[in-house]
Structure 1
Amino acid sequence: MKRLFATSLFALASVAAFNPALAAEHGDHGMMHSQGTGQTLADATVKKVDQAAGKITLSHGPLPNGMPAMTMSFRLKDPSWANKVKEGQKVRFASAQIDGAMTVTRLEPAN
């Protein structure tokens, strides 16, 4: 039984090590990690801010969930963040699927 468990564990670790999609799920994808939060931040440029709807359109690189680089609209977890960014600004963000919508869960200016 121990041998079966060890073999299964080794096989799973090997697949994760050589499969970028699985590695991305665990944050190993070349993007910067925010300090102390455990969230992986992606770089983006703000294309549009819709304060009334609490949404932001970002042109972003690949995301940890496997989404390729593209420009898309996100819901903001905190609608007040729309007041803190402007079109053309470089930002770093984390996102998650919340209630069926891609949502920015962390947003900060890029350095």
Structure 2
Amino acid sequence: MAAASLPARAQSHAHGHDAPAKAVKVADTAGELSEGEVRKVDKAGKKITLRHGPLKNLDMPPMTMVFQVGDPAMLDKVKAGDKVRFVAANPGGKLTITRIEAAR
């Protein structure tokens, strides 16, 4: 059975798409927006601290935590105290915000 899965794995490594494909797949399955509140924006560190509700796609309970951001330009759109909706993923073991928008 392992031999049957080897060619697919080898093919993805040969094309160099293994890690990005996983990141995209996680983001796609995480299409549901979670709700939170911005506690701190660290533009220099490319990080954001959010107090958030449950993150179903990551199986995480509500808490306050620091996330990396997929695109540092996202940090220009928010400030401490803002209510937001966002998508978080865990590519390569780094909790990352892949999308963020002001809550309506």
For residues 59 and 81 of structure 2, what CA distance do their matches in structure 1 show?
Answer: 25
Which structure has the greater CA radius of gyration? 1
The answer to whether 1:72 aligns with 2:72 is no
For 2:101, give the aligned amino acid: E
Contact 2:33 2:85 (C-alpha < 8 Å) held by counterparts: yes
The count of corresponding residues between Structure 1 and Structure 2 is 75
Where is the strand percentage greater, Structure 1 or Structure 2?
1
Instruction: Note the C-alpha offset of 1:103.
Output: 0.2
Root mean square deviation of aligned Cα: 1.4
For residues 30 and 64 of structure 2, what CA distance do their matches in structure 1 show?
Answer: 25
Q: 1:44 — aligned with what?
A: 36
Aligned with 2:76: secondary structure? Answer: helix
For residues 101 and 38 of structure 1, what CA distance do their matches in structure 2 show?
Answer: 15
For 1:57, give the aligned amino acid: T
Please report the TM-score for the alignment, with normalisation by the length of structure 1.
0.64
Q: Higher relative contact order at CA 8 Å, sep ≥6: structure 1 or structure 2?
A: 2
Q: What residue ranges of structure 2 are gaps of 5+ in the alignment?
A: 1-28
Please report the TM-score for the alignment, with normalisation by the length of structure 2.
0.69
2:76 to 71, 74, 83: 83
Where is the helix percentage greater, Structure 1 or Structure 2?
2
**Counterparts of residues 53-64 of structure 1 (less than 5 Å):** 53-64=45-56
User: CA separation of 1:98/1:54 partners in 2, compared to 1, >3 Å: closer, same or farther?
Assistant: same
- The percent of aligned pairs where both chains have the same amino acid is 51
For residues 34 and 44 of structure 2, what CA distance do their matches in structure 1 show?
Answer: 25
